[in-house]
């Protein structure tokens, strides 16, 4: 899919000493292919799994279209370039019915990063491991509450990036190299109320 948004985008052109006006931005979105399964192996235990491919490689460039510089049409221009990679994720989990009141769940997922060679401080992406656990508590025949936690652990990514901010510091211009290490860790908590009728 391609996503197009209309609006006013003005970019200053230093050569023409004027702003170029664009009317549309084009954002290529990735395709997603997924295979998933759920198997009730026994009365109490079920196995579930997922394999998913997301074609983030399609998200290679943001372009602006229908540009004008005064009365002159300038067509399209590249706004930002990415070099993202397609990514896979694989997950496996289990559901165990403890009794009529409690159902327990746990899972693991390996998730590939997409940024590739153009990693940056603003997008601290890396391969990630997801560790998840949850439970359902049945309040009645028709109502229940789900609880969940997901702990995400990413890899360390070392990068050197130019920053225009450091050009303003007393150390002098053109010395804006930032040497950084990023890590994309997170912890998610969730709660859900269910009513069936």
Q: Is residue 158 part of a domain?
A: no
CA distances from 145 to 93, 142, 149 (A): 19, 11, 14
Q: Is residue 2 part of a domain?
A: no
Q: Is residue 20 part of a domain?
A: no
The answer to which of 35-49, 130-144, 153-167 has the lowest mean pLDDT is 153-167
Overall average pLDDT of the 177-193 stretch: 87
Residues 6+ away with beta carbon under 8 Å from 140: none
Q: Is residue 173 part of a domain?
A: no
Q: Is residue 161 part of a domain?
A: no
Q: Is residue 8 part of a domain?
A: no
- pLDDT one-digit tens code per residue, 27-44: 888 899 999 999 999 999
For the chain, how many structural domains are there in total?
1
Q: What is the DSSP letter of 164?
A: G
The backbone torsions φ and ψ at residue 57, rounded to the nearest 5 degrees and listed phi first, read -65, -20
Domain membership of residue 148 as a residue range: 28-152+182-195
- pLDDT one-digit tens code per residue, 97-123: 999 999 999 999 999 988 866 666 767
Q: Is residue 69 part of a domain?
A: yes
Model confidence, pTM: 0.72
Q: Is residue 175 part of a domain?
A: no
The token pair that represents 124 in the structure block: 């601290």
Instruction: Please give the mean pLDDT across all residues of the chain.
Output: 82
**Are 143 and 164 a contacting pair, CB within 8 Å?**
no
């Amino acid at each position: 899919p391609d996503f197009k948004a209309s609006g006013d985008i003005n970019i200053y052109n230093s050569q023409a000493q004027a702003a170029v006006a664009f009317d549309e931005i084009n954002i290529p979105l990735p395709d997603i292919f997924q295979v998933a399964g759920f198997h009730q192996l026994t009365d109490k235990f079920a196995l579930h799994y997922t394999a998913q491919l997301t074609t983030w490689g399609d998200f290679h460039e943001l372009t602006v279209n229908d540009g004008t510089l005064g009365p002159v049409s300038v067509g399209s221009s590249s706004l930002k370039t990415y070099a993202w990679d397609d990514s896979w994720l694989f997950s496996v989990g289990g559901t165990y019915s403890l009794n009529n009141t409690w159902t327990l769940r746990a899972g693991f997922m390996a998730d590939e990063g997409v940024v590739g060679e153009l990693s940056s401080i603003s997008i601290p992406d890396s391969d990630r491991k997801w560790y998840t656990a949850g439970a359902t508590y049945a309040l009645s025949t028709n109502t229940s509450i789900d609880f969940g936690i997901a702990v995400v652990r990413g890899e360390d990514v070392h990068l050197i990036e130019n920053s225009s901010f450091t050009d303003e510091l007393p150390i002098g211009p053109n010395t804006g190299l930032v040497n950084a290490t990023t890590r994309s860790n997170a912890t998610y908590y969730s709660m859900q109320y269910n009513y069936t009728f």
